[in-house]
């Protein structure tokens, strides 16, 4: 029993690294000493978690692994999802324009104000007013910058204070002619990207200097722009090491744009922005999120199928069919993707989790509408 304890920690990690997660858990039951030693090998549990697709960075990787395994077991039995319903009396649910999560809080754009609730207890944390009616929200988690797109074409940015849960106005941007439908804030590039339908025949994507509010570039889209995402060069999702890029989705397609980085400029040589060969046809009926990004791969829905495409080679990696034709992507990890599916009407909608590797439906849960 004491043999493992007598070995250097490097050898302990080396030996245990050959074991899968289930075997590691059984080994912790051998004795108190083994439980203490194996539970403390964070790199081993990290490796086991990543092997299973539980890749969220955490402090206690063993606890993370055990929690994820239990969640998967409950998910397969249809018991993993939980929901808490709350409907404050101060507004109608139909008034909510957009919702984002930030630092353990829910931020909801409601007419001309943003209401904040803490996720842990759903108690109101703050309310702050904005100058124009809200259409969409975008938050930068690392830099605490909130972008707000408005109905009249204006955009405002706000600095969020996580201690006092309040917001201070940073900048106002004017340039769109119609509703600002989508936003992406990227403080690391000193950039913000916005999409608007501007008019029936003039739909645009605009790139702004986040700090000064200067309009840097305007791109024309073939349809109503529904989603934009900025990818800094060399980031884990970016297809390029030396070029910044932008993914934009309109009613019928997803396009990739890129431009070179430039010494002395946070956002690079944006005047030379150009479209790449990547152009993906998507369902026109899907008016919400068109795509998700996952380690240089793009995931999108086409005719009820979830398709995974390599951003670098443009080659299709995976493709699997869902239960319904109407599917909206919500979130994805290294191994699983969460979607909403419905048939004929939203009242029949359900949450579903798929295994990305083989397309297997792991579990579903009816949406509490």
- With contact defined as beta carbons under 8 Å apart, do 35 and 29 qualify? yes
Q: By CB neighbour count within 10 A (0-12 exposed, 13-18 middle, 19+ buried), where does 53 fall?
A: middle
Relative to beta strand 113-118, strand 105-110 is: antiparallel
Helix, strand, coil abundance in the chain, percent, nearest 5: 15, 45, 35
pLDDT at 369: 53
Domains of the chain: 3-76 (1.20.1280.50), 93-296 (2.130.10.10), 297-369 (2.40.10)
d(Cα 246, Cα 40) in Å, to the nearest integer? 42
d(Cα 366, Cα 286) in Å, to the nearest integer? 20
- With contact defined as beta carbons under 8 Å apart, do 165 and 152 qualify? no
Q: Which residues pair with 291 in a beta bridge?
A: 300
- Residue 196's region, left for phi above 0, alpha for psi from -120 to 50, else beta, is beta
- With contact defined as beta carbons under 8 Å apart, do 160 and 190 qualify? no
Q: Exposure string (b/e) for 313-349, b if CB count within 10 Å is 16 or more? A: eeeeeeebebebbbbebeebebbbbbbbbbeeeeeeb
* Cα–Cα distances in angstroms (integers) from residue 132 to residues 100, 151, 172, 180, 203, in the given order: 18, 7, 11, 12, 21
pLDDT at 368: 58
Nearest CA-CA partner of 184 in 242, 124, 229 = 229
Q: What is the pLDDT along the chain (369 residues), one digit of tens a residue?
A: 456 667 777 777 787 888 888 888 888 888 887 788 888 888 888 888 877 767 665 678 888 888 878 777 776 665 556 656 665 666 566 678 888 888 778 888 988 899 888 877 778 888 889 989 999 999 986 778 999 999 888 999 999 887 777 888 999 999 888 889 899 999 889 999 999 876 655 678 999 998 888 999 998 887 778 889 999 988 877 888 889 999 998 877 888 999 999 888 888 888 899 888 778 877 665 555 678 887 788 888 887 788 888 888 888 888 888 877 778 888 887 778 888 887 665 566 788 888 888 888 888 777 655
d(Cα 194, Cα 109) in Å, to the nearest integer? 17
pLDDT at 1: 47
pLDDT at 343: 67
């Amino acid at each position: 029993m004491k043999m493992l304890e007598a070995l250097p920690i490097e050898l302990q990690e080396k030996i245990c690294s050959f074991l899968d997660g289930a075997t590691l858990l059984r080994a912790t039951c051998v004795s108190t000493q083994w439980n203490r030693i194996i539970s403390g090998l964070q790199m081993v549990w990290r490796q086991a978690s990543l092997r299973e697709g539980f890749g969220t960075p955490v402090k206690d990787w063993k606890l993370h692994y055990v929690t994820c395994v239990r969640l998967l077991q409950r998910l397969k039995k249809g018991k993993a999802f939980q929901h808490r319903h709350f409907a404050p009396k101060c507004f109608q649910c139909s008034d909510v324009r957009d919702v984002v999560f930030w630092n353990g809080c829910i931020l909801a754009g409601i007419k001309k104000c943003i209401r904040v609730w803490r996720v842990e207890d759903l108690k109101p944390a703050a309310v702050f007013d904005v100058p124009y009616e809200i259409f969409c929200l975008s938050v930068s988690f690392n830099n605490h910058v909130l972008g707000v797109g408005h109905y009249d074409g204006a955009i405002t940015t706000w600095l969020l204070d996580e201690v006092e849960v309040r917001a201070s106005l940073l900048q106002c941007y004017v340039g769109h002619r119609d509703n600002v439908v989508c936003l992406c804030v990227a403080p690391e590039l000193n950039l913000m990207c916005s999409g608007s339908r501007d008019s029936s025949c003039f739909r645009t994507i605009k790139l702004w200097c986040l700090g000064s509010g200067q309009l840097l570039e305007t791109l024309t889209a073939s349809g109503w722009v529904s989603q934009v995402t900025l990818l800094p060069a060399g980031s884990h999702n970016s297809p390029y090491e030396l070029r910044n890029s932008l993914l934009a989705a309109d009613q019928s397609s997803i396009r990739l744009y890129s431009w070179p980085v430039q010494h002395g400029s946070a956002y690079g040589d944006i005047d030379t922005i150009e479209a790449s060969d990547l152009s993906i046809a998507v369902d026109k009926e899907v008016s919400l999120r068109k795509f998700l990004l996952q380690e240089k791969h793009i995931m999108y829905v086409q005719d009820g199928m979830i398709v995974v495409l390599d951003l670098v080679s443009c080659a299709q990696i995976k493709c699997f069919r869902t239960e319904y034709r109407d599917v909206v992507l919500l979130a994805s990890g290294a191994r699983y993707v969460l979607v909403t599916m419905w048939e004929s009407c939203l009242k029949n909608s359900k949450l579903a989790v798929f295994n990305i590797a083989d397309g297997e439906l792991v579990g579903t849960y009816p949406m509490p509408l």
